[in-house]
């Protein structure tokens, strides 16, 4: 029998994705609750990229039901008719208007899509020819155009083969990999923001699983960590598609079914290490926009699983410790068993744990998103003015105002522009100063530093509401990336003074780097 790695209640209870918290922007930690009836148990599986719609599952007297959570209210999505209630919701598009997952009819689990007002429209998705057994939809791209998942062969109670698939605007593409042996198969677990990169695994036979990713329908299977067995699974992908995370067998975790948390970039596998007192066994289950922050589950003590968070500066840390020590959140009575996903902007982490009453419950931790830093060196202009740049407010993927970027100590009453890019920082010589923004560079429409008509001092101030600019409300054609949570932006003010010759006519602020939040 083929295997798809997922923590589960049953074959199709796949709880690896992200979740979102309430609308409030303050830092907080809370459980998502439970539907009434049956045992108290809930799992938060995924969240819309705009951070407003949570999807998952909850147990009732009827069975396990697919649910969504919005504004703090947990609501059943409903299931197919004719079978036992056994479903879950596993993904949502950017604004949460479309949810995908699985339900059960009289014969088998089927891939589902919920849409329409109040998610009243339930659609059973098509399956790959020859794979009409149990099936699930594991995720949907933020743009809503690509749905991914896997179908099993025609057996409904047990299966010998699995095929991953992608459904693009209703067009079904099977991703069955033609490997040696009749048992070869594939499975897709997640997609990046625009559906261009899918991640999952292939099986070459027996328990020989290999983590992989598809660019379009082209398969890539990078090597795993060294040592142990040739075993890995790729469970999630960064929003921009450049980083994959999952689990890989290694010398520290030499098992053919369970590896250690692993991160791949440019087809190179990297161990994420261990938490103090723990072991290497576990899996990375999610990462932020560019893969610089990774979360998952690991062994935190003998026979005890716990949620972890990783970044290059700190390495792997127990998430509960970070939430309490770094953010001051109250986790009294909670045990965080696993973290399943993190939003693209890094402001929300979700998972499952044991609540203070001793029941299994999904949880959500909301953290601060805004990270700003200045870099690069401003140019002292002809009058000896030393410009400086700063930002105030929250850079937002959706708000029409509220984040002002300002540069002071500029030449008074002179025209200028805001230069910006989502391609990284730079430190390049430019007209006698330093260009702090990487190419290709975009620019705003014209600005004026204001002040007296003479422009004879250093009291000029350039300002722009970046959120309004990002929405196209101030003219120009902004980057589409400015509407994606987690996008890192670098910017710099550039002014010109026609009263001086080049290069003394140029004034440049230093650079400002910030992240677009939900």
SS3 of 193-252: CCCCEEEEEEECCCCCEEEEEEECCEEECCCCCCCCCCCEEEEEECCCCCEEEEEECCCC
In a domain, 497, yes or no: yes
**Phi and psi angles of residue 321, each rounded to the nearest 5 degrees, phi first:** -65, -40
Q: Would residue 343 be called left, alpha or beta, if left means φ above 0 and alpha means ψ between -120 and 50 degrees?
A: beta
The model's pLDDT over 375-433, given as tens digits with 9 standing for 90+, comes to: 777 887 777 778 889 898 889 888 888 899 999 988 888 888 899 988 777 778 888 88
In a domain, 74, yes or no: no
Q: What is the total count of domains within the chain?
A: 2
Residues 397 and 415 in one domain: yes
**End residue of a domain, out of 366, 395, 411:** 366
* CATH number for position 324: 2.120.10.30
**End residue of a domain, out of 366, 392, 415:** 366
Residues 220 and 356 in one domain: yes
Bridge-partner residues for 232, per DSSP? Answer: 248
Residues 235 and 324 in one domain: yes
Residues 391 and 346 in one domain: no
Buried b (16+ CB within 10 A) or exposed e, 308-342: bbbeeeeebbbbbbbbeeeeebebeebbbbbbbbb
pLDDT confidence of residue 201: 92
The model's pLDDT over 139-151, given as tens digits with 9 standing for 90+, comes to: 999 889 999 999 9
Mark the ranges of the chain whose per-residue pLDDT is less than 70.
Answer: 1-26, 51, 155-159, 176-183, 454-456, 501-503
Nearby residues of 175 by Cβ (< 8 Å), 6 or more positions away: 163, 164, 165, 166, 186, 188, 198, 214, 217, 219
Q: How many helices (H) and strands (E) does the chain have?
A: 2, 41
Residues 299 and 248 in one domain: yes
**End residue of a domain, out of 297, 332, 366:** 366
Give CA–CA dist 406/213, Å, rounded.
Answer: 42
What is the DSSP secondary-structure string of 371-415? Answer: -EEEES-PPP-TT----EEEEEE--BSS-SS-EEEEEEEEPTT-E
pLDDT confidence of residue 432: 82
CA 377 to chain centre: 32
Range of the domain at 224: 122-366
Closest to 245 measured CA to CA, from 203, 202, 293: 293
In a domain, 95, yes or no: no
pLDDT confidence of residue 1: 28
pLDDT confidence of residue 16: 21
**Phi and psi angles of residue 480, each rounded to the nearest 5 degrees, phi first:** -55, -30
Residues 315 and 267 in one domain: yes
Nearby residues of 266 by Cβ (< 8 Å), 6 or more positions away: none
Q: Would residue 421 be called left, alpha or beta, if left means φ above 0 and alpha means ψ between -120 and 50 degrees?
A: beta
Give CA–CA dist 288/294, Å, rounded.
Answer: 7
Instruction: Find out whether 481 and 455 touch, Cβ atoms under 8 Å.
Output: no
Pairing state of beta strands 63-70 and 54-60?
antiparallel
pLDDT confidence of residue 381: 73
Instruction: Find out whether 251 and 226 touch, Cβ atoms under 8 Å.
Output: yes
The three-class DSSP label of residue 117 is: helix
């Amino acid at each position: 029998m083929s295997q798809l790695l997922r923590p589960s209640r049953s074959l199709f209870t796949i709880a690896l994705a992200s979740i979102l918290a309430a609308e409030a922007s303050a830092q907080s930690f809370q459980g998502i609750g439970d539907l009434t009836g049956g045992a108290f148990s809930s799992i938060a599986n995924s969240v819309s990229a705009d951070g407003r719609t949570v999807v998952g599952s909850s147990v009732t007297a009827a069975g396990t039901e697919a649910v969504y959570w919005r504004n703090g209210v947990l609501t059943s999505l409903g299931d197919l008719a004719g079978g036992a209630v056994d479903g879950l919701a596993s993904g949502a598009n950017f604004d949460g208007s479309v949810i995908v997952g699985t339900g059960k009819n009289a014969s088998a689990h089927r891939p589902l899509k919920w849409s329409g007002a109040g998610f009243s429209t339930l659609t059973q998705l098509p399956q790959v020819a020859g794979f009409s057994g149990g099936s699930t939809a594991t995720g949907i791209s933020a743009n809503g155009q690509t749905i991914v998942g896997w179908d099993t062969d025609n057996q409904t109670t047990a299966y010998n083969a699995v095929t991953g698939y992608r459904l693009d605007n209703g067009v079904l593409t099977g991703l069955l990999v033609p490997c040696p042996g009749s048992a070869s198969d594939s499975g897709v677990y997640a997609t990046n923001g625009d559906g261009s990169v899918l991640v999952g695994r292939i099986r070459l036979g027996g328990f020989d699983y290999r983590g992989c990713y598809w660019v379009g329908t082209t398969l890539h299977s990078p090597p795993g960590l060294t040592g142990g067995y040739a075993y890995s699974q790729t469970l999630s992908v960064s929003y921009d598609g450049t980083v994959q995370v999952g689990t890989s067998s290694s010398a520290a975790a030499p098992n053919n079914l369970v590896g250690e948390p692993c991160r791949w970039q440019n087809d190179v596998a990297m161990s994420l290490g261990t938490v103090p007192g723990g072991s290497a066994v576990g899996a990375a289950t999610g990462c932020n926009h560019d893969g610089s922050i990774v979360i998952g589950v690991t062994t935190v003590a003998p026979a005890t699983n716990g949620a972890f968070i990783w970044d290059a500066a700190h390495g792997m840390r127990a998430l509960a410790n970070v939430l309490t020590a770094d953010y001051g959140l109250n986790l009294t009575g909670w045990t965080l068993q696993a973290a399943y996903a993190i939003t693209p902007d890094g402001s929300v982490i979700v998972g499952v744990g044991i609540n203070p009453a001793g029941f299994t419950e999904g949880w959500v931790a909301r953290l601060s998103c805004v990270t700003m830093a200045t870099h690069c060196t401003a140019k002292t202009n002809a009058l000896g003015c030393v410009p400086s740049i700063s930002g105030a407010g929250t850079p937002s993927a959706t708000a029409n105002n509220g984040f002002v970027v300002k540069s002071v100590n500029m030449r008074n009453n002179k025209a200028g522009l805001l230069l910006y890019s989502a391609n990284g920082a730079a430190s390049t010589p430019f007209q006698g100063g330093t260009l702090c923004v990487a190419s290709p560079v975009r620019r705003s429409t014209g600005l004026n530093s204001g002040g007296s008509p003479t422009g004879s001092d250093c009291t000029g101030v350039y300002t722009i509401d970046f959120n309004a600019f990002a929405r196209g409300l101030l003219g120009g054609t902004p980057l589409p990336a400015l509407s994606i949570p987690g996008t890192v932006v670098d910017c710099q003010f550039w002014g010109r003074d026609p009263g001086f010759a080049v290069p003394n006519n140029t004034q440049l602020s230093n650079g400002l780097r910030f992240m677009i939040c939900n």
